[in-house]
């Protein structure tokens, strides 16, 4: 039976690899919802996407990662993102369960930004937060950008909820207090996610031929366009995009032509200097003779 289960896990892993490859081709940033079990990750995903994912107060209710393409309202940096729900973490994950969680943990490793959902109504939420951070460190994902979501403020007293929202807004990291049931704080959540995503983008300055309309649309869909100008020789774009898109557009970089021209100029100058030195030396040799 164990062998059969391992084969099924390997099969799931292969399917996940195929799906991840397909998602990477889209060029959209991936946000992974992580958190202690029953923190409200699936409820948050349901609110944002109406995905209908099982959201029950049961240990490990979500074992199979669920990914949805989402257009978050008000999100300017990346109008569309991929949201992935993952299994709820627990303290001291049993060794025999690690293999079963491998697929969902790999989704965490492949994510661009982690949305750490915390049950702020729990008396031990700080311990739970530390437990999640420990697991993230163990799977080499502790250094990823994190949006810290203090969820379930609808279960707090009105004054306590208001104080928590204020404290989250004043924190230096990407923190926000929300209710994934009532939707309170969702505008702040989108803004906080945008701040985190902005740190993933790199600047580009390209001139795309009019035959490359597909690339222009790609930049507008997954990037943050600061300037666009339709010129005689193509479309000029000044924007910030994910690194993968920047690499793909490298041949159209307007600064590359300048750098190549300068490099070519420097090379000619060196040749000229070299010839000048040789000529001078030959002259000196003749004089000495």
User: What does the mean pLDDT of the chain come to?
Assistant: 78
> In this predicted structure, what is the pLDDT of residue 154?
97
Residues 179-199: what's their mean pLDDT? 91
List, in order, residues 6 or more apart from 234 with CB less than 8 Å away. 207, 208, 209, 210, 212
Cβ–Cβ under 8 Å, residues 23 and 30: yes
* Max avg pLDDT among 77-91, 98-112, 197-211: 197-211
- Least confident range from 31-35, 72-76, 107-111: namely 72-76
Question: For residue 276, what are the contacts with CB-CB under 8 A and spacing of at least 6?
Answer: none
Find the helix or strand (DSSP H, E) in which 283 lies. helix 254-288
The whole-angstrom separation of Cα 11 and Cα 99 is 13
Confidence check: pLDDT of 230 > 90: yes
Examine the pLDDT at 60 and tell me if it is beyond 60. no
Q: What pTM, to 2 d.p., does this model score? A: 0.71
Q: Which strands form 202-208's sheet, in the order they lie side by side?
A: 202-208, 234-241, 224-231
DSSP 263: H
Nearest of 81, 283, 108 to residue 197 by alpha carbon: 81
Answer with the residue of higher pLDDT: 202 or 18.
202
Q: How many residues does the chain have?
A: 289
pLDDT digits (tens, 9 = 90+) for 89-99: 766 666 556 55
Q: Which residue has the higher pLDDT, 87 or 268?
A: 87
> For residue range 125-162, what is the model confidence (pLDDT) as tens digits?
999 999 899 888 888 888 999 999 999 999 999 999 99
pLDDT at residue 221 is higher than 50: yes
Q: Is the pLDDT of residue 289 over 70?
A: no
């Amino acid at each position: 039976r164990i062998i059969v289960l391992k084969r099924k896990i390997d099969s799931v892993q292969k399917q996940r690899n195929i799906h991840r490859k397909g998602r990477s081709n889209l060029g959209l940033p991936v946000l992974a919802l992580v958190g202690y079990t029953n923190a409200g990750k699936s409820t948050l995903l349901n609110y944002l996407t109406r995905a209908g994912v099982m959201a029950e107060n049961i240990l490990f209710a979500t074992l199979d990662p669920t990914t949805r393409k989402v257009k978050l309202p008000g999100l300017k940096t990346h109008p569309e993102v991929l949201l992935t729900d993952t299994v709820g973490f627990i303290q001291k994950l049993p060794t025999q369960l690690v293999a079963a969680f491998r697929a969902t943990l790999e989704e965490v490793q492949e994510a661009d930004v982690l949305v750490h959902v915390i049950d702020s109504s729990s008396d031990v939420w700080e311990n739970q937060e530390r437990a999640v951070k420990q697991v993230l460190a163990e799977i080499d994902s502790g250094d990823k950008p994190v949006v810290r979501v203090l969820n379930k403020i609808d279960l707090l007293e009105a004054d306590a909820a208001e104080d928590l929202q204020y404290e989250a807004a004043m924190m230096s990291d990407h923190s926000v207090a929300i209710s994934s049931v009532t939707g309170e704080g969702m505008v702040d959540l989108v803004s906080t996610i945008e701040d985190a995503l902005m740190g993933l983008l790199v600047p580009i300055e390209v001139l795309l031929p009019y035959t490359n309309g597909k690339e222009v649309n790609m930049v507008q869909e997954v990037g943050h366009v600061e300037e666009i100008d339709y010129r005689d020789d193509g479309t000029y774009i000044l924007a910030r995009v994910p690194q993968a898109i920047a690499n793909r557009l490298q041949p159209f970089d307007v600064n590359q032509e300048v750098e190549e021209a300068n490099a070519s100029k420097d090379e000619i100058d060196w040749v000229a200097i070299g010839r000048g030195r040789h000529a001078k030396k030959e002259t000196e040799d003749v004089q000495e003779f």
